[in-house]
């Protein structure tokens, strides 16, 4: 079963900032390269999330992209807080929502 998922899956799993996210294999190669090498991805943004956002806060996020920072925000604010993400690229919206665990909210 695991072998089947590896060959059939269209996503790769990465763990930036201590969170697990999925990035489509056809995503921007530069982002996938950074994530695969464990290099910082939006490190200043991640630091601001950790420093200024706390559990229960409501957040409006502009530009969710692949949902990497979105997932970190969701982890910080908890499952019951409101988190609205605005993403201009419709092809990224589903990936972003999935990584931020918002697809069912």
pLDDT above 90 covers a percentage of the chain that reads: 82
Domains and CATH numbers, the chain: 2-99 (3.40.50.150)
Residue 57 has pLDDT above 50, yes or no: yes
Contact 76, 49 (CB under 8 A): yes
Contact 11, 35 (CB under 8 A): no
Residue corresponding to tokens 């695969």: 36
**Which residue, among 55, 65, 59, has the nearest Cα to 93 in the 3D structure?**
65
Mean pLDDT of the chain: 88
* Alpha-carbon torsion, ordered 65, 27, 39, 2, to 10 deg: 110
Predicted TM-score of the model (pTM): 0.84
């Amino acid at each position: 079963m695991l072998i089947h998922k590896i060959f059939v899956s269209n996503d790769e799993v990465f763990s930036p900032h201590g969170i697990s996210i999925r990035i489509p294999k056809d995503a921007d190669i530069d982002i996938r390269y950074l994530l695969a090498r464990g290099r910082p991805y939006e490190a200043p943004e991640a630091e601001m999330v950790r420093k200024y956002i706390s559990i229960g806060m409501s957040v409006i996020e502009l530009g969710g992209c692949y949902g990497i920072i979105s997932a970190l925000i969701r982890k910080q604010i908890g499952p019951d807080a409101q988190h609205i993400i605005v993403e201009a690229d419709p092809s990224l919206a589903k990936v972003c929502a999935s990584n931020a665990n918002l697809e069912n909210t």
